[in-house]
Amino acid sequence: MPLVEFVHPDALHIDLRVDNHETIGVSNIKLRHAVNSSRTLKVQFADRSMAERCRLGAIVEFSYHRGIPNPSNFVGDKKFVGVIKSITPGDGSSTFVAYDFVTHLAKSQYVYYKKEDYIGEDLYFAAANAADYKGIDTSLLTQGSGLFITEDMDLFGWKTRKEFIDACFNEMKFIVNDSAHPSNSVKQWKYGIRGGKQLEFFLPDPESTQAVPAITASLDNNSIVSGELVSQIDTTRLINSITVASSTKETDYAQLEDASSIEQYGIHSHFLSYKTTNNNELHEVAYAILYRFNKPLFVYNLSLDNVDHLDIGDIVAIDLPTLEKDSTHEMVGYEIEFGENISTKIIIGQTKLTVKEYIDLLKKPTNR
């Protein structure tokens, strides 16, 4: 059901079905996704018979690919499978929104998760077991993370399956110190259904010197639509002046500043009480915090021209005159709109950590 008649072999072709019936009268489709959440498909249509077919709970299948039109090309290629959750009827046109099967996890029956059933289990497999529900394909979830459940984790009690999975993934982050990463780099697992019903757990690594970007977005190569790049600078976690004092002897402390960061962003101070009387440890903690938090978090929203192959978890490099060098980040969300034209908007950002979360990670073994 192409919205536009294509003849070029690299043209985009789409197929949309509701309860296995072909659709007609569709004028606009938006596919959205963000890490650790459902993909959503918003469809606008004008055909009356389609409005009667689009019931709540109907199964929606949407596929698209580039190349010569061939039904076999659609199989497993950027396929969305979801359930209609809302319908908005109108005089001239109507709209429905479908969510992929992660929505079943969010709306699941509550489960009582007992400490004694999970302590010592790999967080990866605990989350995978919870995700094996209502037709979600978990066959790829065999890797493991090497991060194990302890009794102090906030995983237990009454939770929906998604609440439990989200709690597991909140714990699935760790410090890396090796030759391929800046000191005390943080890696965190993410999840999502990127095709069909198949759930994936993935570990983006944008800070690695060996990371290969899926694309370099630049105004020079015309991949970024002119005027369609917005950067958000979050200074709420910025720290460029740090005092770490011993909680048992307050006159023992370490105090550091980053003059360059202060000059650029203004002073942002932070105080931390830390349980040690070792002055070297106080300085090490102060340095680690300053090194990690001396720059604001950047989130980029940008529109790309003729790009529809990217997915959450991909590494994207941004080449802008305002940046000293190519900046690589994880793609954390996107929206592709299919209408008279095809436009792609992506969101790339950085892992957000609190000081407490970072300190807790520093206390744990690295390179797990």
Closest CA to 204 of 329, 307, 291: 329
Per-residue pLDDT of the chain (368 residues; tens, 9 = 90+): 445 444 455 567 788 999 998 887 888 999 999 999 999 999 998 877 777 778 999 999 999 876 665 555 544 467 999 999 999 988 888 899 999 999 999 999 999 999 999 999 999 999 999 999 999 999 999 999 999 999 999 999 999 999 999 999 999 999 998 999 988 889 999 999 999 999 999 999 998 999 999 888 876 765 676 556 677 778 888 999 999 999 998 889 999 999 999 998 999 999 999 989 899 999 999 999 998 899 888 787 888 776 778 899 999 888 776 555 557 889 999 999 887 777 888 888 877 788 888 888 887 654 44
Helices then strands, each counted (H, E), the chain: 8, 22
Query: What per-residue confidence (pLDDT) applies to 223?
Result: 65
Enter the tokens of residue 345: 């908007």
Cα gap 353→368, rounded to integer Å: 18
Cα gap 50→47, rounded to integer Å: 5
Enter the tokens of residue 32: 């959205």
Enter the tokens of residue 71: 């039904």
Q: Which residues neighbour 231 within 8 Å (Cβ) at sequence distance 6 or greater?
A: 298, 299, 300, 301
Neighbours of 99 (CB within 10 A): 21
Contact predicate 38/103, CB 8 Å: yes
Cα gap 186→184, rounded to integer Å: 6
Contact predicate 118/149, CB 8 Å: yes
DSSP letter string, 33-69: EETTS--EEEEEE--HHHHHH--TT-EEEEEEEESS-
Query: What per-residue confidence (pLDDT) applies to 51?
Result: 73
Enter the tokens of residue 168: 């597991």
Query: What per-residue confidence (pLDDT) applies to 323?
Result: 57
Model-level pTM? 0.85
12-18 vs 21-22, strand pairing mode = antiparallel
Q: Which residues neighbour 123 within 8 Å (Cβ) at sequence distance 6 or greater?
A: 145, 147, 148, 149, 168, 169, 171, 172
Query: What per-residue confidence (pLDDT) applies to 76?
Result: 45
Query: What per-residue confidence (pLDDT) applies to 217?
Result: 80
Query: What per-residue confidence (pLDDT) applies to 8?
Result: 53
Neighbours of 239 (CB within 10 A): 23
Query: What per-residue confidence (pLDDT) applies to 367?
Result: 42
Query: What per-residue confidence (pLDDT) applies to 67?
Result: 63
Listed in sequence order, the DSSP H helices in the chain are 48-53, 102-106, 115-118, 123-131, 161-171, 259-265, 279-293, 355-363
Query: What per-residue confidence (pLDDT) applies to 253?
Result: 93
Query: What per-residue confidence (pLDDT) applies to 326?
Result: 58
Contact predicate 6/27, CB 8 Å: no
Unique residue bearing structure tokens 């066959």: 139
